[in-house]
Structure 1
Amino acid sequence: MNGETMKARLDEAGVHPDEYHQYARPLDGFYVVPMALGWAVYYQERGVKFHEKTFMSESAACAYLITLLTGRGR
């Protein structure tokens, strides 16, 4: 899975696009972002990251974010 597939699944589930971001930005919300050695998923509020979890693959990170936002697995 990649960012486009994740976005399509979140759209289908009715998750508003403003609730998540695919690149680091100065906005509140959930993030899935590439890092030097893998991917990170976290919640950011007022510039502070919470509950950061790292993954070796984009697919695993996207699947985790879908679960966080929908309560459902892949």
Structure 2
Amino acid sequence: METEILSDEELAELTGYKARGYQRRWLEARGWVFIETRSGRPLVGRHYVRMKLGVSHGVMPTALPPPAVPTWTPDISKVR
């Protein structure tokens, strides 16, 4: 089962660098959002990577559903 955060190998494959400093520079130069651990390892979310790379898994609906029809509406005709 894959985690929500890219592994060290996946991050190296994405950036082309194994050194964490170069990985951070690569991510910053391209405007990627990431969080650093206390040891300086950049953490990048798997869903964020898919979004940035334009990969769609059909999770998001392509069209908005029709608006819900109200089942009950109050009769305010006799309110003064």
Q: TM-score, normalised by structure 1?
A: 0.30
Q: TM-score, normalised by structure 2?
A: 0.28
Q: Which structure's residues are more often strand, by fraction?
A: 1
